Structure formats: C-alpha cells, structure tokens
Homo-oligomer: A and B are copies of this chain.
Amino acid sequence: MSPDEIGAFVPGPRARVEGRAGGPLAGLTFAAKDLFDVAGVPTGGGNHDWPTGRPVPTRHAWAVQTLLDGGATLIGKTITDEVSLGILGENAFDGTPVNVRAPGRVPGGSSSGSAAAVAAGLCDTALGTDTGGSVRVPASFSGLYGIRPTHGRIDVSGMMPQAPTSDTTGWFARDAATFARVSSVLLGEEIPAALPDRLVIAVDAFGFADAAVAAALQPMVARLADLVGSAREEIMAPPGLSVWARAQRTLQPVEAYNTFREWLDERNPRFAFSVARGLVMASLTPEGDRVWANLMRQEARGRMAWLLPAGTILCLPTTPFPAPLRGQPLSVLDPLRDRITCLCAQGGLAGHPQVNLPGATVDGLPVGLSIIGPRGSDATLVAVARALEAKGG
C-alpha cells in the first residue's frame, strides 16, 4: 500500500529533515508523532484547534533532535488521537491509519500513525508517546517492538504534555536489531549483553486476558523463561488490576484536564464526542477520588518495586485482546478501553519501563507479550527483546 493509502502521516506536505551524516543510525528513517516539535512545522497534536494562536516551534523536540543527531532522517509527522487522549487510534478529524497487520481493525493509539507507518514499512522507526498505553497498545495491535521507557528517563522537551506524571516518550521498530540501535541512541547507553536471571509471570494479567491471547502467548513465555533461567508466578496487582486501572483512570484524566483547561475555556476546541466526554468527566472528579487514587498509586509503586528487584523481569499480555474492528459504537469501545487500562495501568502509576514483544497472533491478528523491569532497566529489556528474537521469537 502507498503512504497515502496507509494514512499514517498528518495531511499536508510532509516534514522532512535529513539526519547527520555518519551517525550510528545512518541510513534509518523515522517519523514523529504530531506531539513532537519539529522546527518550522506547527505541532498539530491531533486536534485542528491546538495550533491556533501558538507559535510555530523554532527547535526540534529533544527526541527528534537526538535521532537526527544519531543519523536517522525524519520523513514525516504522524497522526495521533486528539491531544493524545485515546487508546484505539481512531481520529475523527484526520482519519484512522491502516493497520497492515490487522486489516479492518484499529491500529491502536494514541501513537496510531507512528505504529501504522512502521508496521507498513514506510519508515524504520517512529516516535510515540505513552501516558496510559499509547505506545504499548499500538505495538501489540500492530505486531511491533515498542517501548515505554522508565518515567522521567527520556527528556520530554518539545513534546506536547498530557498528564506529566505519566507522560513518556517511546518508539517502535519492526525488528529487534533496529529496535536496539534506536534504543541505544535514545537511552544514551549500550544495549547490554547480560540478561536478567529471574522471570515473574503476572498470573492475574494472564487470567484477565482473553483465553485465546493467553494461550497464544504461552510459547513466548516458555522461551522467555528458558532464556532467563527461572520463572515464578505472582499476582501483579493484589488489590485487583481493575483497582489499579481505576486509580490510573482517575489520576490521568484529571491531570490531562488541568493541562488543557485554559485552552478549553479560551478556544472551545472541536473534539470527537468521546474525547470531550473524557475531559468533562475528569472535570467532575471528586477530590476524594483523586486523593484515594494517589494513595493507590503509592501502593502500586511499592508493589512493582517489590516484584522487580535488580535482575528480575515480569511478563504479561500487553493487551487483553488483538485490535478491535474499526468504527464500532462507543458502547462497544468504552468497555474495551477499560479492559486495556487494566493491563496498562502500571506504566502510568508506577512508571516502570515496559517493552512489547511481537510474534504471537490470534486468528492471524498480532498480540504482544510485555516485559517490565526495574526502573532504569530500559536497556536490559531491549537486550531481552534482542536475545529472544535471536532465539527465534
């Protein structure tokens, strides 16, 4: 399919910036979600009223500049869910990028265009953002490597904020070798040879996923256990995945509402109904709910730190199901979104790094296995991805 048929890039002329000659990423191309500043190009944010009245960026976002300095060439900016509020990748204004790995299905969001562009081979890697799952979910739905780094690890200068205590910069690749090259540059460290030696299998998360997804991921889990050397089963979220999700779905929207409230008041921007609905509901959140959610966040951080001492990784299904069909009613999509959050909530709550490993399918549709490590172990997770691919997925 042609780039136009994929519909991954924002409408209009494509931004292009050549990478520095001779860098470690020389020869690679990349795209940037339209939440990242590219000098001279308005940052669209997936919303036609976002750029109005804002100055055109004069500097590249840190992640864009770092990839350019590494030698990769920017070939375009990609469609995102409106102001990154969405997990499925359907943008009513700019369109829904095609998921070449799951035709007729959503690409996942909010980094929809970045995932679609990489999956379709339009570029080698692409920058996304992940606040509540916006890299992990499209990586799972599109059969890609994708990372949500440790929160705070990557400089977010020039990246449009949503919920800053959860926002991260992530990226996608089709193969582990490219994923490792790009990760090394963005993480600013070598991908190590040493691997973790303990695997925790999150039994609550596998139990929560569709049975077909859990079954499809079992061979990958077995290879991962073999690679690491030891495995044990644990409940990831003793109060319940849905309780963690509830905390995340309280904190993140409230923070997003605070990010956008002045703009909402001044510009009365246009949104799909569902996006506006999320902001309105956030504005009505009782303070007591927010206080509770913050306490649960502290508990989740304690739990994740206890589960993941140095040398340990945890695995779980990235999403409970493969990509849903495009164009379904909200009454179908809302419960799906809520189920997704049950598996993704740790990222926003606890901020541990997470990598989606592609390879499994259900009825031909990709579903990913996630590995999570201690805070700061980002490069080790990439190393595991590389080693597992070398072992044959």
Q: How far is the CA of A273 from the CA of B262 in the complex (A)?
A: 12
A90 closest partner in B (C-beta): B268
State which of B265, B270, B273 has its C-beta within 8 Å of the C-beta of A264: B273
18 contacts between A and B (CB under 8 A): A49-B92, A92-B268, A92-B269, A92-B270, A264-B273, A264-B330, A265-B330, A266-B330, A268-B273, A268-B274, A268-B330, A270-B272, A271-B271, A271-B276, A273-B276, A276-B276, A276-B280, A277-B280
A residues near B (Cβ < 8 Å) are 49, 90, 92-93, 264-266, 268-274, 276-277, 279-281, 284, 329-331
Q: Which residues of B contact A276 (CB under 8 A)?
A: 271, 273, 276-277, 280
State which of B264, B266, B272, B329 has its C-beta within 8 Å of the C-beta of A269: B272
Given contacts A265-B329, A270-B271, 17 further A-B contacts (CB under 8 A): A90-B268, A92-B269, A93-B270, A265-B330, A265-B331, A266-B329, A268-B272, A268-B273, A268-B330, A269-B272, A270-B270, A270-B273, A271-B276, A273-B279, A276-B276, A280-B280, A280-B281
A274 closest partner in B (C-beta): B268
Output the least CB separation between A110 and chain B (Å). 15
A278 closest partner in B (C-beta): B280
Output the least CB separation between A88 and chain B (Å). 11
Return the 10 tightest CB-CB contacts between A and B, nearest first: A276-B276, A280-B280, A265-B329, A266-B329, A277-B280, A265-B330, A265-B331, A268-B272, A268-B274, A273-B276
A263 closest partner in B (C-beta): B273
Q: Which residues of B contact A265 (CB under 8 A)?
A: 329-331
Output the least CB separation between A98 and chain B (Å). 19
Q: How far is the CA of A280 from the CA of B284 in the complex (A)?
A: 11
Q: Which residues of B contact A279 (CB under 8 A)?
A: 273
Q: How far is the CA of A245 from the CA of B274 in the complex (A)?
A: 28
A92 closest partner in B (C-beta): B270
Q: How far is the CA of A49 from the CA of B272 in the complex (A)?
A: 10
Q: How far is the CA of A93 from the CA of B269 in the complex (A)?
A: 10
Q: How far is the CA of A281 from the CA of B280 in the complex (A)?
A: 8
Q: How far is the CA of A271 from the CA of B93 in the complex (A)?
A: 11
Output the least CB separation between A364 and chain B (Å). 27
A283 closest partner in B (C-beta): B277
Q: Which residues of B contact A281 (CB under 8 A)?
A: 280
Q: Which residues of B contact A277 (CB under 8 A)?
A: 276, 280
A269 closest partner in B (C-beta): B273
Check A273 against B272 for contact (C-beta < 8 Å): no
Output the least CB separation between A93 and chain B (Å). 7
A260 closest partner in B (C-beta): B273
Output the least CB separation between A87 and chain B (Å). 14
A280 closest partner in B (C-beta): B280
Output the least CB separation between A392 and chain B (Å). 42
Output the least CB separation between A131 and chain B (Å). 20
A284 closest partner in B (C-beta): B284
Q: How far is the CA of A93 from the CA of B272 in the complex (A)?
A: 13
Output the least CB separation between A343 and chain B (Å). 24
Q: Which residues of B contact A268 (CB under 8 A)?
A: 90, 92, 272-274, 329-330
Q: Which residues of B contact A271 (CB under 8 A)?
A: 270-271, 273, 276
